[in-house]
Chain A
Amino acid sequence: MDIEYRMMNFEVLRERAMYKIILAIRYLLKRRIAYFAVLAVALCVFIVVIVMTVLTGLVTDFKQKNHSFVGDCVVGTESLVGFAYYEDFMKILERSDFVEEISPVIKSYALVSPVETERNVGVEIMGIDPVKHSQVTGFGQTLYYRKDDVSKAFEPAYEPNLAGCVIGIDLALQRDAKGRYPYGSGPTEMALSISCFPLTAKGALAKAGAGLVNTKTFYHSNNSESGLARVDGSMVYLPFEQAQLLCGMAGPVKRVNAIHIKFKPNMGLEAGCEEVDSLWQSFGREKADEKQAYLLEKVTVQSWKDYRRAFIAAMEKEQTMMTALFALVGITTVFIVFVVFYMIISHKSKDIGILKSIGVSNANIIKLFSGFAFLVGLLGSGVGVFAGWLFLLKINRIEDWLFARFEFQLWDRTIYAIGDIPNQVDAKVLAVIIFSAIVACWVGALVPSWQAAKQKPVETLQVTQL
């Protein structure tokens, strides 16, 4: 009995819903003016899909490169003096169950002069253990030569006994129009004299009165291409111990500038950083009575996202600004839907009158036109997404053709460190665009639907109106 009653109710509901679907489809097919609404939605969605896919691709790629460059978490200080007792803290991290790998890092500025030239270039230096650092970050993958044996990153192939250095690719080579670097078969035989200010734990010059700087000659052993323009254009990587010596951090109490950490796969980023922070706080308390404990006060624990916030935020803001601009432009689509619905409703007042005269409620009239708006939005965004997807599929070929024919590139690859134009459609972005298009159609249809619902059958079905 209960099942029969439910079945009957279902049938009634189905029949009630049916006329809304039929009428919505009928209006869509029969009223050619509705095609213009579909066209406007499709055009807007087409452009937004392309722009957002490219922008999202750039931002995602940039974030991935930053993550790969930094690792998951950084315990470090901005001061070039660095902090002491890092070896003790590394032991604590090694004992913890959520840390997979750690890598101590020296960071400073240096003056680099290719020997037998008169050129001086100010660069950033990073002292690392190549094996450890490659386990924490993507450093090993950024190397061009001997990628399979990272331990030899600082061994010049032409003279393995010499102290080697890895040079950021943009310091060594220039990209061609396709964004490629003209690598040779091996690293160039080149000696670089690298000088920097060694600093005491108090931040003063360690060699006051004795030339002030430490200088050592390193030999070009490899190139690193991280894909981050600022890094590749200014970074020289040195062996950890050598960099520590150069910067005056290899005294009785050794110092580093940062410890980069990679978490185990099952450890979330935020939770991992909180754990490290907690360990660091208790470590700080433990070392509070040590001579150089004051250096620990300036040390912060940051996730890779916070550590590179200044760079990532700039790109995210551009994405936000573009989204806001397109939202403004999308208002026109709302207007078009409004006008189209206004026209259709003013032509279909008899239909509405008949529907209301047989008992259809105001809410159902609104639902009918909302369904119609939904169809317009869905169809328009479907067409727009399909066209956008097709265009994105060929976007790099189109750019190649434009470059071959007219020397036109979307980005000059000699200036920007961008490879192919990103064309991987993100399902989330797509869902947001389609949803926004449908909502825009609903908003556009809202007032006309309300006006339709307010129509009185007694007026619209008067014989003088028929």
Chain B
Amino acid sequence: MLKLFLWLRYLRKKKIVFLSIAAVALSVALLIVVSSLFTGFINVFEQSAVETIGDVVLAPPIRFAKYRVLIERLEQTSAVDAATATLSAQGLLYLGQGNVRRVSVWGIEPGPREKVTGFKRSLLKQKESPESPGEPSFKVSGFPEGIGGFVGVGVVAAPDEKTDEYDFDAVEKMVGQQVVLITGTVIENSKQEGTGGAGGRLKKKTVPFRIADIVFTGVYYVDKTFIYLPIEEVQKTLYPNEDGQIADQIQIKLAGDVEADVAKAQIRGVWKVFADEQLGWGPYLIRETSVKTAKQMQSQYVAELRKQMGVLLLIFVVVSISVVVLIFCIFYMIVSIKQRDIAIIKSCGTASSSVALIFVGFGACVGIIGSGIGAALGYVITKNINTIEEWIRIIFGLKLWKSSVYMFSKIPSEVNWVWALVFVLLAIVAAAIGTLIPAIVAARTRPVEILRYE
């Protein structure tokens, strides 16, 4: 009771204590914001990979046929919810009037892809159109016979320099427009005579198609790079002489509660039997087939991001040590000024340890209040980080976050409560540590010296 009374009294009377609360709050808020933004970015990065390529990707070293058989077998296992095939290539896209882009081409099946990645929600026209319920489609209204394709929003337009937003009205007007893709593959190899070097005939293929829809995933790289065509068209263009359904990757969505390692083992088992029976592949090709989760595929970059976050947090934690110094100074001052209080308490029989605890406890209280305010501040800043960034743009004309630099169009704004809790606890401990020496000084106060008449 005495401790509580003194804590409240010091808090009320010694306004300087509020400085230490403010410093703790500032440091905790800063650390929470930095850690939340970093972990938010990492989570969105990992999630975007899952939304682009599914939970698990099966990628053999060379393309393979009869993928529908494989998908059927995979979907029969308990680990796999859905699977879809892709056939990829690189190309140049002519959009008209001197406008050429280099693109990555994915041959896809829109229906199965929707089941694996929820692809339809990225399609500007079809996602909410009552005319296209159910699965997404490559059909272009008014051109039933022509080839349709989806094009990333960044392929056909660039975000506004100031706002970093696309002009979606202008972009949607491109739906139905004809564009031309060139891609190619080696169809004949030969040694060129007299050159001494290797030679060959590379057949370039042109694929005119109409834009059936625009893809906006919010992931800059994906929107800027990818176009999507029917897988059979890509196969017909690249490998006209190959029979069966050709794919170079299977993207898989796992069943809800299955563990990734268990699922991977099941998928590899199915693949082994399929490649052996249906493709007649030897052990080398089967072994070289990669079966990885989307997260594993991003792991090197994610590890780098985590490391950078660690380095940045370490720097801020080191700088935040000055908060301990501040608390020490303030408490040292309080102890110096309140020597008579301490002497009176001790003369009433209070033990030295109890006197020390008054100040350590008070320090912990400062830590609790400061970190509480800091956590609230960190939460508010993180949650409203996009609004804050927008205001900075409006007031200072400085666009801090650009999707072309940071991949995503929005700043991730989820608070990382685990890190927040760590920083709150650290702040309380640091505040208590800052009071240790003043508390010892207070405990060693001798009433007989302080309370002498002269």
Contacts and interface: CB of A to CB of B under 8 A. Distances in A.
Interface in B285-332: 300-301, 303-304, 307, 311, 315-316, 318-323, 325-326, 328-330, 332
B27 interface: yes
B94 interface: yes
A332 B24 CA distance: 9
A111 B91 contact: yes
B200 A122 contact: no
B332 A193 contact: no
Contacts of B196: 158-159
A51 interface: yes
Given A193-B200, A212-B206, A332-B27, A116 B186 contact: yes
A115 B199 contact: yes
Contacts of A424: none
Interface string A160-202: 0010000000000000000000000000011101011101001
Nearest to B311: A410
Nearest to A336: B326
Contact of A331 (B23, B183, B311): B23
A44 B322 contact: yes
A419 B195 CA distance: 39
A43 interface: yes
A108 interface: yes
B121 interface: no
A162 B204 contact: no
Contacts of B323: 332
A120 B319 contact: no
B90 interface: yes
A30 interface: no
Interface residues of B, number: 68
Given A113-B202, A203-B99, A415-B304, A43 B329 contact: no
A317 B400 contact: yes
Contact of A335 (B23, B319, B321): B23
Contacts of B20: 335
A298 B405 CA distance: 26
A333 B23 CA distance: 9
A66 to B, nearest CB: 15
Contacts of B398: 317, 320
Contact of B94 (A190, A205, A329): A205
A3 interface: no
A343 B321 contact: no
Interface stretch (B100-108, B212-220, B254-262): B100-108
A326 B30 CA distance: 10
A356 B180 CA distance: 88
Contacts of A109: 92, 100-102
B180 A205 contact: yes
A314 B285 CA distance: 44
B47 interface: no
B238 to A, nearest CB: 9
A367 to B, nearest CB: 24
Interface in A312-335: 314, 317, 320-321, 325-326, 328-329, 331-333, 335
A349 B34 CA distance: 43
A80 B98 CA distance: 5
B202 A215 contact: yes
A176 to B, nearest CB: 14
B100 A117 contact: no
B321 A415 contact: no
A191 B199 contact: yes
B400 to A, nearest CB: 6
Interface string B172-195: 000000001011111001001001
Contacts of A336: 322, 325-326, 329
Contact of A115 (B202, B316, B326): B202
A417 interface: no
B395 interface: no
Nearest to B19: A335
Contacts of B129: none
Interface residues of A, number: 75
A280 interface: no
Contacts of A408: 307
Contacts of B441: none
Contact of A343 (B199, B307, B329): B329
B383 interface: no
A43 B321 contact: yes
Interface in B195-242: 195-200, 202, 204, 206
- Of B99, B198, B202, B405, most buried by chain A (CB within 10 Å of CB) is B202
A121 B199 CA distance: 18
A111 B16 contact: no
B247 interface: no
Given A159-B195, A211-B206, A335-B22, A43 B322 contact: yes
B354 interface: no
Contacts of B318: 43, 47
Nearest to A193: B202
Contacts of B316: 325, 329
A36 interface: yes
Contacts of A123: 102
A79 interface: yes
A339 interface: yes
A442 interface: no
A317 B199 CA distance: 48
B325 A40 contact: yes
Contacts of A121: 90
A325 B102 CA distance: 39
B195 A162 contact: yes
B21 to A, nearest CB: 10
A205 B99 CA distance: 10
Nearest to A43: B322
B351 interface: no
A321 B396 CA distance: 13
A120 B182 CA distance: 11
B368 interface: no
A170 to B, nearest CB: 16
Contacts of B321: 43
Contacts of B101: 109
Interface in A333-347: 333, 335-336, 338-340, 342-343, 346-347
Contacts of A110: 92, 102
Contacts of B89: 120
Contacts of A314: 402, 405
Nearest to B208: A212
B180 A120 contact: no
A256 B301 CA distance: 39
A33 B332 contact: yes
A4 interface: no
24 contacts: A40-B325, A40-B326, A43-B319, A111-B90, A113-B186, A115-B186, A115-B198, A120-B90, A120-B91, A191-B192, A197-B100, A212-B206, A213-B92, A213-B204, A215-B202, A215-B204, A325-B30, A331-B26, A332-B323, A335-B20, A342-B16, A343-B329, A412-B303, A412-B304
Given A36-B328, A196-B92, A343-B329, 20 more contacts: A39-B325, A43-B322, A47-B315, A111-B91, A111-B102, A115-B186, A117-B186, A118-B186, A120-B90, A120-B185, A122-B90, A158-B196, A159-B195, A190-B197, A211-B206, A314-B402, A339-B19, A340-B329, A342-B16, A415-B301
Interface of A: 33, 36-37, 39-40, 43-44, 47, 51, 79-81, 108-111, 113, 115-124, 158-159, 162, 189-191, 193, 195-197, 199, 202-205, 211-213, 215, 217, 219, 310, 314, 317, 320-321, 325-326, 328-329, 331-333, 335-336, 338-340, 342-343, 346-347, 408, 410-412, 414-415
| Top 5 closest pairs, chain A to chain B, by CB | A122-B102, A203-B98, A81-B98, A203-B97, A120-B90
